Chain A
């Protein structure tokens, strides 16, 4: 079965960077895009961006594109999200998700809590 297993919680200081991993299994990694979505405490879902493991194409939300890098490692079927220059507003649960037949998000990781605290 399809699984997306994310890395554990992180606590970072303002200005630092964080890299979250999303290890996939149960399907051909290069056949589906990976999307990253975040959710601040008590808030709604925010689409951050998408990457194609097939060719590395990326789409980022404009407000974060200067601080966010999405990447993949096809040898381990793992996707990565790096966020630089963290601020308190980046405190959130970060989810990876896999496309379904279209671009709707069918399979999700369990989420990774990133806390930015001084």
Chain B
């Protein structure tokens, strides 16, 4: 199984900050990597697919990059609505594992 390691697990930031969340895979997942945002009590929301493609309707302040084993999610200028948890997921090989998550908190 491919293990996904996210860092940091918690991130404190302010509105307007640029933040980067990292996801590392234990073996190559090529570019089969998605990022999701989840708010308390809600289902996850797809932000990025195939490592860097922005899902329709997602603000352009979100971007993804990377391939192989190293991936990043960048939020260029944090907005109040962005404080949530974020998860990466590889879908290169079954089981399609998730990272442990990053909780983005208001500083």
Q: Do residues A102 and B32 form an inter-chain contact, with CB atoms below 8 A?
A: yes
User: Which listed residue (B49, B95, B100) contacts A59, Cβ 8 A?
Assistant: B95
Number of A residues near B (Cβ < 8 Å) is: 25
Range, interface on chain B: 20 to 34
- Give the residues from 75 to 99 in chain B that come closer than 8 angstroms, CB to CB, to chain A: 87, 89, 91, 94-99
Chain B: interface secondary structure?
A: loop
| Chain B nearest Cβ from A110, distance in angstroms | 6
* B100 contact set on A, CB distance < 8 A: 44
| Chain A nearest Cβ from B47, distance in angstroms | 10
Q: Do residues A44 and B94 form an inter-chain contact, with CB atoms below 8 A?
A: no
| Chain A nearest Cβ from B50, distance in angstroms | 7
* A104 contact set on B, CB distance < 8 A: 34, 46, 49-50, 89, 91
Known: A44-B87, A104-B34. A62 touches B95 (CB 8 A): yes
Known: A102-B32, A108-B44, A110-B43. A45 touches B94 (CB 8 A): no
Max count, chain B CB within 10 A of own CB: residue among A103, A104, A110: A104
A2 lies within 8 A of chain B by Cβ: no
Question: Which of chain B's residues has its CB closest to A110's CB?
Answer: B43
Q: Do residues B89 and A47 form an inter-chain contact, with CB atoms below 8 A?
A: yes
Q: Do residues B94 and A50 form an inter-chain contact, with CB atoms below 8 A?
A: yes
* A45 contact set on B, CB distance < 8 A: 36, 38, 44, 87, 89, 98, 101
The 6 A-B pairs with the shortest beta carbon distances in the complex, nearest first, are A108-B43, A104-B49, A103-B91, A104-B34, A44-B101, A45-B98
